[in-house]
Amino acid sequence: MIAADSHNSEAGPQWAGITGVIATVSVFAIAQGLSYPLLSFILQRQGVSPAMIGLSAAMTPVGFILSSPLIPGLARRFGAGRTALTCAALSAVVLALIGWTQNVYLWFPLRFLIGVVTNPLYVLSEIWVIALAPPARRGRIMGLYSTIISAGFATGPLCLLAVGTEGWPPFLVGICAFVLCGICLASVLPRLPRVDEAGHQVSVMGFMPLAWLLLSAVVVAAGFEQAALALLPVYGTHYGIAEARMSALLSVMIAGNIAMQVPLGLLAERLTARLVRFICVLLTLFGCALLPVLIETPLVWPCVFVWGAVSYGIYTMSIIELGERFTGSALVAGNAAFSLMWGVGGILVPPLAGGVMDVLGAGGLPATLGAICAVLALATIIRRRVL
């Protein structure tokens, strides 16, 4: 289970811990938000096909998948704080190696390693925030958590507008962000909860039958986000849209997360996280249908704003429901299972969408994303009828 130190029982240290963790992960998200479009732009300039770009992007989720079952044990053996700090340092090193090699084939193992070393930062931060959040305010706090992480992701593509996509400058921004992430985390470690031996009671694989629909929602949210980050720049080139405009469009999409996750969290407190998640799935599906119609018009900007908000809202609602339904070792295993399924979505959907784009052209991206949303909506309806 999760056990907080005695001084964390007071409201002040709880809020200080929440603030510190969110600040840490937001800085980390800058590096992640920068790396996906940056590497896609570089590969595209090298003449790499959309399918290969999607496969390259999928290496990071492979790292998520293989490392997720190990995280609870690593946190217990070495301490959650020490594990996260080590991962922040290793992330900076691996990103430097990616910038140094500039080779599509060498990037496959390096992007895999990025997934392995960044994954514990995600998992442990969510455990810390859920453990510290008062149950009555969990919706808004997890919404705020998602909002500030999204702000970090949005800053990443915006950095490309400032430093460009060539040479060392964009890589140095990401490396510095990982270093700052470690500094922020070290400053709040005494206020954070710890993971103790009760984590052995529920394994990651044993958790999956307990919440299969939640985990399916995570697959869809992950696949949507990572396919959009990796392939939306490629999608834009089919319409002759410049790299700078596509970077800005990605930032607007992520800005939808920034504006809407707290309102969605508040709505989940009034309704239920499950109902709000279903609404988000339907609106995401609608956005997939609208994208090809609006991509060359000014209306594409509000479209992708809402599209980004509700697509990531699927994950926000899922993590809120996870905190409502599970505690202790099940919560630890659930967070790790979420990360594993995030990796599954990331490894399946980007190469699938890239392959469909090779066959159908630009329309393959919204068609693929719309199809996975339709399957999740149908599964939600069927589950409700069964129950």
* Residue 298 exposed, middle or buried by CB count within 10 Å (0-12, 13-18, 19+): exposed
Between 359 and 113, the more confident residue is: 113
What 8-state DSSP symbol labels residue 3?
A: E
Q: Which long-range contacts (CB under 8 A, 24 or more apart) does 282-287 make?
A: 282/377, 283/307, 283/310, 284/224, 284/310, 284/311, 284/314, 284/369, 284/373, 285/370, 285/373, 285/374, 285/377, 287/311
pLDDT tier at 4 (50, 70, 90 boundaries)? very low
pLDDT tier at 139 (50, 70, 90 boundaries)? confident
Question: How many Å separate Cα 239 from the centre of its chain?
Answer: 27
pLDDT tier at 9 (50, 70, 90 boundaries)? very low
- Residue positions counted in the chain: 387
Phi, psi of 124 (to 5 degrees): -65, -35
3-state secondary structure of 143: helix
Q: What tokens appear for 110 in the block? A: 């390096």
What 8-state DSSP symbol labels residue 2?
A: E
3-state secondary structure of 191: helix
pLDDT at 196: 54
Query: Which value, to the nearest 10 degrees, does the dihedral of the CA atoms of residues 11, 16, 22, 24 take?
Result: -150
Query: For 150-204, how does the pLDDT look when each residue is reduced to its tens digit (9 = 90+)?
Result: 777 767 777 887 787 777 888 888 888 888 888 888 887 877 776 654 445 677 7
Residues ≥6 apart with Cβ < 8 Å to 259: 147, 305, 309
Residues ≥6 apart with Cβ < 8 Å to 195: 2, 3, 72, 75, 76, 80, 124, 127, 332
3-state secondary structure of 194: strand
Owner of token pair 């709000």:
276
Q: What separation in angstroms does the CA of 80 have from each of 238, 270, 303?
A: 45, 33, 40
Q: Compute the C-alpha angle 207/125/16, nearest 5°.
A: 135
Identify whether the C-beta of residue 328 lies closer than 8 Å to the C-beta of residue 1.
Answer: yes
Helices 300-325, 243-270: axis angle to 10 degrees equals 40
Mean pLDDT of 224-229: 84
Mean pLDDT of 33-62: 80
Name residue 295's amino acid: I
Helices 212-237, 300-325: axis angle to 10 degrees equals 160
Q: Is the pLDDT assigned to residue 328 strictly greater than 80? A: no
Owner of token pair 């509000």:
302
pLDDT at 234: 81
3-state secondary structure of 166: coil
Q: What tokens appear for 112 in the block? A: 């895999």
pLDDT at 13: 46
Between 231 and 305, the more confident residue is: 305
Identify whether the C-beta of residue 365 lies closer than 8 Å to the C-beta of residue 227.
Answer: yes
